[in-house]
Structure 1
Amino acid sequence: MTRAPKTQRYCARCGNRLSSYNAQKFCHPCDLAFREQLAHPPEVPAGFWQTDRMRDALSTWHIGQVIYAYRLHPHHGRVLPQELIASWLGLTQAQLSRIENGSAPEQLSRLTQWAQALRIPAELLWFKLPASDGEASVPEQHDGEADVRLARWLFAGGRGTPPASSRTGDLEQIALALDDGYRYFDGAAIAFFREQLTKSKADDGIHGSAAALPLALAILAAVREHCKGVKSSVRQPLLALGADGAEFVGWLYRDLRQPIAAGYWYDRAIEMAQEANDLAMQGYVLLRKSQMAYDDRDGSRVLSLAEAAHHGPWQLPVALRSEITQQIARGLAMGGESFGEVERKLDEARQVLARGQGNESDEHTHRLRSASTYIEAGRPIQAVSIYRTALDSGALSTRDEGYFRARHAVALALCGDPDSAADEGLLAIRCATEKQSARTKQELVRAIEAMDRWQHRPGPRELRETVYAGANRL
């Protein structure tokens, strides 16, 4: 019996034969070209919004269903992946999936941002867009995918024309710093780069993440370039320094609420740490990834990444081991574990910290992290007590003060004290605006959500209006 020949399939765009292993409708070059064309939302004809599927989605008043209909629209020639749409909207794929499949989002600032990004006509929306009176009415967009392209260009040595990104205006500073790195490279290169990285971290503490980013990116590019062709005795510590810098850049993007770019740099940090045989840095980055998962309230990843950091083959400082144990407690609380089990894990973290030569700062930050866990465990009143003591001490940096005031506002709202929560939130927004901390703004949005049933009161109403009016400045 003869076997029936397989049907040959062809690319729907260029007509070339498709590999038998390719289950898609397009060949790899056409697929790449298609994605490059869609680096930003495309211009669409007016009739795009008049199809039955799109009009039905708009009539639901559910932005997730509108985005889903947008992705499936035949105008695109194919179904647009969630990852692509998420990059346009400043989201992760997991966040977009929850928006499409969950309850309808109601926060006006988010609805406005997403509708403007996709260019949905205002007359078709169920909410009113802000008045168009110049640039102030348009939320600033950060393209995470574009920042990743900039990172790859820098890693390739920064040669040729740089790709456009939300950091294009910083390229002159990056180029100057790169030039400094090349000029001063000699036997003391590692000390030079470490000094520059320390300066960048100081800029972050004083001026905020956006101000620190150009120099940090330049340092990484220079480190990567100088790793080529140097002796192994120099290359390994240089890579360890690069891993430290990549982890720091991941943090900067995290504070700017650009999770795609943050995740990219955390991955690069682990790769360089592996090359440098720096086990401790690998564990530390896993903790950082767990903390970023908490920013998105992804409880399962919070727990799994923290446990991976805990069980890895590395020797970590006592304070870091204690922090990882606390993060496990937070993940357990988010997963609905009993309060007794969560408290037991927090006690374990306290015991670990007590075994080391900790300082007052370690104790301080330990208590603040515990407060966050108490919120997740349904014990906000314990969190309020901790936050109040920490904030009254005056020991926090401006950015940390803003972030923890926002967390304090959440705890106060959960305790049924919306007026005090609003007061804390208004103090937090000043710090967030000064340091351009989008992460703090995200916590303030959560505080507003917790005060939703009191939104008619003057304090919560003022906070809502202030946060949404200031969205363009963060």
Structure 2
Amino acid sequence: MSRNDALRAARLRVGWRTVERAADALTEHGQQLLDDRHFTVSPRTWRRWEGERPGWPAEETASVLHDALGRWPEDLGFTTPPGWIRPEHHEEVAVKRRAFISVTSAALVAGPVAPQHVDPALIDYFQTQLEGHYRADMLLGPHDLIGTVSAQYQLIDKLVRSAKGETRRGLLRVGAAYAALIGWLYQDAGDIDGAAFWRGVTQEIATRSRDRHLIGYSLVNQAQVRTDLGDGHAVIDLCEAALDDADRLLPKVRIMAIQQQAHGASLTGDRRAVDQLIDAADGLLSRIDDDLPWGNACRRTPGYLEVQRATCYGRLGLGRESVALWDQVLNVVPATARRDRGVYLARHATAAAGAGEPEQALEIARTATEIALETRSARMRRELTTLERAMLPWQDAPIGRDIAEVLAPVTKGI
């Protein structure tokens, strides 16, 4: 019989070593929380929860489980019933919805607007600002930057409506780059709906600009969202579309599309294609010679393509090969790239667990957790949750309890 490992891991994390101890502890916790001495959970009930068909607890029991374990039942392996909305989620949804409407209104301003003169020099101004936003993203993370970049996009959109000729085309091009950055910020913040919305805006603005390079870039942006959704075939489709007439594309756009296609191949389990694609992208690196402000991760990121290969290997379950690559990559990542370094460390730790080296995974995880708490990156939290699952084979051993304690400040309550 399969087990509900998520609930079992949560139980062990708080020190409830047996089902009987868990039932007694939750009963005591619930009686205090609800001020109801009749609240009880039996060992038989808990044993069913950890079994193949855990069912769904009553609403007050769900609240007690959340208060005791830091997670709602849908995150503890229970079978979520249709229409369930956790009690605290109502307000969360309202707050997130207000924030989303506020920011996305930047892309939905009704037109037309009052005409104004638009100086062509504004294109360079916004491009220069974009460079600064990329640097700020590395230092601040997504949450503090989304509003600022979105407000500038709104101004660009307003100017596009008055600009003419090449000035208008130039503003459309820079607007597409801003929309792409906003989409990335949402993706890094863990809001896939927001990311998908802004990736769609990017594709629209790129198409309106008639710039084939930006159109290809926008398709890669869409593929990145599909990668996070685990849809490997969609990733490949989008990257192949971006590479139509590849000889007319800038080398860096081709590199972005090819390496993202490798991620799609890793999601479909095709290791041979991963290596072929990463090698093909590597052959184009020396040909990058444009001065455009967008899409320059392949220039800024040390060991950029080996980062992609290591990530793909980890996804394919090639633990030892992935660990060896992460060892190389992390030696050249600068301290200033703290958030990226945290993501890489989390992936490194997961690869170590996959290679049967839990002690190494634990040591790497200590640093990754510190960075995750500091940067509030949802991307890093997701990586550490993946590590938590990779360490399940050791959950009953002391090393398993140690890793649970290290990860708890980040993964508890996700």
TM over 0.5: yes
Pair 1:217 & 2:157 matched: no
**Map of 1:231 onto structure 2:** 164
Shift of 1:262: 0.5
CA distance in 2, matches of 1:120, 1:155: 31
- The answer to whether the 8 Å contact 1:429/1:467 transfers is yes
CA distance in 2, matches of 1:279, 1:374: 31
Aligned mate of 1:149, from 98, 101, 111: 101
- Counterpart of 1:329, as a letter, is A
**Map of 2:312 onto structure 1:** 373
**Map of 1:454 onto structure 2:** 394
Cα deviation digits, residues 387-430 of structure 1 (max 9, x gap): 11221234260010001001101111110111211221221121
Aligned mate of 2:356, from 407, 416, 427: 416
- Structure 1 pair 363/285, CA: closer, same or farther in 2 (3 Å)? same
CA distance in 1, matches of 2:262, 2:401: 34
Cα RMSD between the aligned structures? 3.9
CA distance in 2, matches of 1:460, 1:59: 21
The TM-score with structure 1 as length reference comes to 0.62
Cα deviation digits, residues 198-228 of structure 1 (max 9, x gap): 3332221111111111110101111111222
- Structure 1: runs of 5+ lacking an equivalent: 1-57, 71-106, 122-134, 160-181
**Map of 2:385 onto structure 1:** 445
Shift of 1:61: 8.1
- Counterpart of 1:444, as a letter, is L
The TM-score with structure 2 as length reference comes to 0.70
Question: Matched residue of 2:230: which SS?
Answer: coil
Shift of 1:301: 2.0
CA distance in 1, matches of 2:343, 2:110: 35
**Map of 1:9 onto structure 2:** none
- The answer to whether the 8 Å contact 1:283/1:312 transfers is no
Pair 1:205 & 2:138 matched: yes
CA distance in 1, matches of 2:94, 2:413: 13
Pair 1:385 & 2:337 matched: no
CA distance in 2, matches of 1:146, 1:62: 39
- The answer to whether the 8 Å contact 1:200/1:215 transfers is no
- Structure 1 pair 113/317, CA: closer, same or farther in 2 (3 Å)? same
Shift of 1:441: 0.6
**Map of 2:282 onto structure 1:** 350
- Structure 1 pair 298/231, CA: closer, same or farther in 2 (3 Å)? same
- Structure 1 pair 59/411, CA: closer, same or farther in 2 (3 Å)? closer
- The answer to whether the 8 Å contact 2:71/2:413 transfers is no
- Structure 1 pair 403/223, CA: closer, same or farther in 2 (3 Å)? same
Aligned mate of 1:435, from 368, 372, 375: 375
Shift of 1:158: 9.2
- The answer to whether the 8 Å contact 1:247/1:269 transfers is yes
CA distance in 2, matches of 1:444, 1:254: 16
- Counterpart of 1:381, as a letter, is R
Pair 1:269 & 2:202 matched: yes
Of 249-258 and 205-214, deviating more is 205-214
CA distance in 2, matches of 1:436, 1:147: 17
The within-5 A match list for 1:314-333 is 315-333=248-266
CA distance in 1, matches of 2:307, 2:85: 42
- Counterpart of 2:285, as a letter, is L
Aligned mate of 1:254, from 187, 190, 195: 187
CA distance in 1, matches of 2:163, 2:181: 24
- Counterpart of 1:469, as a letter, is P
- Structure 1 pair 451/472, CA: closer, same or farther in 2 (3 Å)? closer
Question: Matched residue of 2:396: which SS?
Answer: coil
- Counterpart of 1:442, as a letter, is R
Identity of aligned residues (%): 25
Higher RCO (C-alpha under 8 Å, 6+ residues apart): 2
- Structure 2: runs of 5+ lacking an equivalent: 1-47, 60-68, 291-297
**Map of 2:124 onto structure 1:** 191
Shift of 1:360: 7.5
- Structure 1 pair 324/119, CA: closer, same or farther in 2 (3 Å)? closer
- Structure 1 pair 426/112, CA: closer, same or farther in 2 (3 Å)? farther
